[in-house]
């Protein structure tokens, strides 16, 4: 089935195969005449990126690119990007890539006009009001993975290269003005990235659904997001060219990010420090710690997960859901535990302290303490 859709929720989203050809129009909608395309180093040399630049150039918008972006991007990447943006006299950003390229592109558009350091805009209380909102440049987002949902999010994740801590930078205007979800762009993802990013989308839905705050809208979106992952992630993994599966995974990714406005939990508060210290893939790390976190949260979410299992067509309530997660992981080649991921438990106290500082920690259904979080970490090895 060829799915095409235009949504205005939570921003303008243009979903469907081949729609990258609308990139120049998307820029013009936001008044851009000289956009800077921001992506990561790996994507810079790929044909999909060259094609996106062609579309911009043919419409008279130039073909400027900044790609000095690491996976788990940091403030040095951001500084270099802001410099490239200013030097080039750009008037907006095309954030192109997985979460790394998307987040860094969004943050360049945000920081180009600010005078305070980026860490002043961490997602704490009303810190975002410190920003001069009138100086935030327009953003067009083009995801090339189906996982983070950063294309429909109001945050960017930035790793501090000195402290190795991942910080969430938040501003409502970090939400891109137009999003192009073209599933053809995701076809070339290596299998491990399809698996890892897809499991990130699943983790967003699962944690948002499980988090105790009152937000039924988010709960509904998260449930349907999990259903899409269940039906389509194994298909996208098995056959990367299955465009129906790829399209539905793009939807699931966006749904995860919309849903997690409600909150995330221990999966993310554990995986953020691991990713920041060991530079592991974010979504794959989430998938690795997911079963121990489910066991940890069981007393608080057993009934809720049984309801989700029923919706997903899984028999056996919480236990059935837990077994399903194990079998999904096995199908996608996810390492069994952190040891299998190549990590040693020698920095567990440090990781525990970092997990306790992570903002996702507060959304976990079972209150996290130093003691139980350390035990949870040990359980992940
Ligand atoms: N802003 C948010 O709300 C949010 C949410 C979750 C995660 N994140 C952040 O996003 C980052 C992870 O993003 P990600 O999982 O999408 O991975 P990524 O952006 O780091 O990309 C992973 C790898 O896949 C490659 N790649 C991307 N698209 C490809 C394609 N179509 N074909 C071939 N290769 C491709 C990249 O070059 C890179 O090497 C982390 O920094 C994480 O903290 C942000
Ligand atoms: Fe995530």
Query: Could you give all domains of the chain from N- to C-terminal order, each with its CATH number?
Result: 13-186 (3.40.50.1970), 191-379 (1.20.1090.10)
Residue 54's CB is within 10 A of a number of other CB atoms, namely: 15
Helices 243-259/216-238 angle, 10° precision: 150
Distance 59 CA to ligand 2 centre (A): 35
What confidence category does residue 166 fall into, taking pLDDT thresholds of 50, 70 and 90?
confident
Checking if the pLDDT of 321 tops 90, the result is: yes
Q: Which of 232, 226, 239 is nearest to 189 (CA)?
A: 239
Find residue 158's DSSP bridge partners.
167
The residue nearest atom 39 of ligand 1, judged by CA position, is: 42
**147 in contact with ligand 1, CB cutoff 6 A:** yes
- Tokens coding 110: 């945000």
What is the structure's pLDDT at 165? 87
Q: Which of 93, 92, 192 is nearest to 142 (CA)?
A: 93
CA dist., res. 224 & res. 256, Å (int): 10
CA dist., res. 261 & res. 165, Å (int): 21
CA dist., res. 378 & res. 108, Å (int): 38
Checking if the pLDDT of 72 tops 90, the result is: no
Contact at 8 Å (CB) between 289 and 267? Answer: yes
**106 in contact with ligand 1, CB cutoff 6 A:** no
**Mean pLDDT score, 151-158:** 96
Residues 81-130 pLDDT 10s: 999 999 999 999 999 999 999 999 999 999 999 999 999 999 999 999 99
The residue nearest atom 33 of ligand 1, judged by CA position, is: 189
Contact at 8 Å (CB) between 365 and 210? Answer: yes
What confidence category does residue 207 fall into, taking pLDDT thresholds of 50, 70 and 90?
very high
**Mean pLDDT score, 338-362:** 95
**273 in contact with ligand 1, CB cutoff 6 A:** no
Checking if the pLDDT of 356 tops 90, the result is: yes
What is the structure's pLDDT at 1? 85
What is the structure's pLDDT at 223? 98
**Mean pLDDT score, 22-49:** 98
What is the structure's pLDDT at 206? 98
Checking if the pLDDT of 309 tops 90, the result is: yes
Checking if the pLDDT of 24 tops 90, the result is: yes
What is the structure's pLDDT at 139? 98
Give the ligand whose atoms come closest to the C-alpha of residue 151.
1
The residue nearest atom 41 of ligand 1, judged by CA position, is: 72
Chain centre distance of CA 341: 20
CA dist., res. 158 & res. 210, Å (int): 25
* Ion ligand 2 neighbours, Cβ < 5 Å: 200
Q: Which of 151, 67, 150, 162 is nearest to 117 (CA)?
A: 162
Checking if the pLDDT of 68 tops 90, the result is: yes
Q: Which of 121, 67, 122 is nearest to 98 (CA)?
A: 67
Checking if the pLDDT of 164 tops 90, the result is: no
Checking if the pLDDT of 249 tops 90, the result is: yes
CA dist., res. 67 & res. 234, Å (int): 31
* Percent of the chain residues past pLDDT 70, beyond the cut: 100
Q: Which of 201, 357, 355, 214 is nearest to 293 (CA)?
A: 355
Query: In the predicted model, what is the mean pLDDT of the chain?
Result: 97
Angle at 15 between CA 110 and CA 56, to 5 degrees: 55
What is the structure's pLDDT at 46? 98
């Amino acid at each position: 089935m060829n799915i095409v859709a235009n949504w205005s929720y939570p921003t303008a989203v243009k979903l469907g195969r081949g729609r990258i050809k609308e990139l120049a129009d998307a820029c013009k909608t936001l008044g851009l005449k000289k956009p800077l395309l921001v992506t990561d180093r790996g994507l810079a040399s790929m044909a999909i990126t060259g094609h996106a630049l062609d579309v911009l150039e043919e419409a008279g918008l130039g073909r400027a690119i900044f790609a000095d972006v690491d996976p788990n991007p940091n403030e040095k990447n951001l500084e270099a990007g802001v410099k490239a943006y200013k030097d080039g006299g750009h008037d907006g950003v095309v954030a192109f890539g997985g979460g790394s390229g998307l987040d860094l592109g969004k943050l360049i558009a945000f920081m180009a006009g600010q005078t305070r350091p980026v860490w002043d805009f961490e997602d704490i209380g009303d810190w975002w009001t410190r920003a001069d909102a009138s100086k935030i440049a327009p953003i067009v987002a083009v995801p090339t993975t189906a996982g983070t949902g950063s294309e429909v999010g109001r945050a960017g994740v930035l790793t501090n290269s000195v402290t190795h801590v991942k910080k969430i930078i938040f501003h409502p205007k970090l939400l891109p003005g137009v999003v192009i979800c073209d599933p053809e762009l995701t076809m070339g993802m290596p299998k491990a990235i399809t698996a890892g990013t897809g499991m990130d989308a699943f983790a967003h839905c699962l944690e948002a659904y499980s988090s105790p705050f009152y937000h039924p809208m988010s709960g509904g979106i998260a449930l349907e997001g999990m259903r899409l992952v269940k039906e389509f992630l194994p298909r996208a993994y098995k056959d990367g060219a299955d465009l129906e599966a790829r399209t539905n995974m793009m939807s699931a990714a966006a749904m995860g990010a919309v849903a997690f406005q409600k909150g995330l939990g221990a999966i993310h508060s554990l995986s953020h420090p691991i990713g920041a210290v060991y530079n592991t893939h974010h979504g794959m790390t989430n998938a690795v710690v997911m079963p121990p976190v489910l066991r940890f949260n069981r007393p608080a979410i057993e009934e809720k997960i049984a309801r989700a299992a029923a919706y997903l067509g899984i028999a056996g309530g919480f236990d059935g859901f837990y077994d399903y997660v194990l079998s999904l992981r096995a199908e996608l080649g996810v390492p069994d535990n952190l040891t299998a991921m190549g990590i040693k438990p020698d920095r567990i106290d440090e990781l525990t302290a970092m997990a306790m500082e992570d903002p996702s920690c507060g959304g976990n259904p079972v209150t996290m303490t130093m003691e139980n979080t350390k035990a949870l970490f040990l359980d992940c090895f």
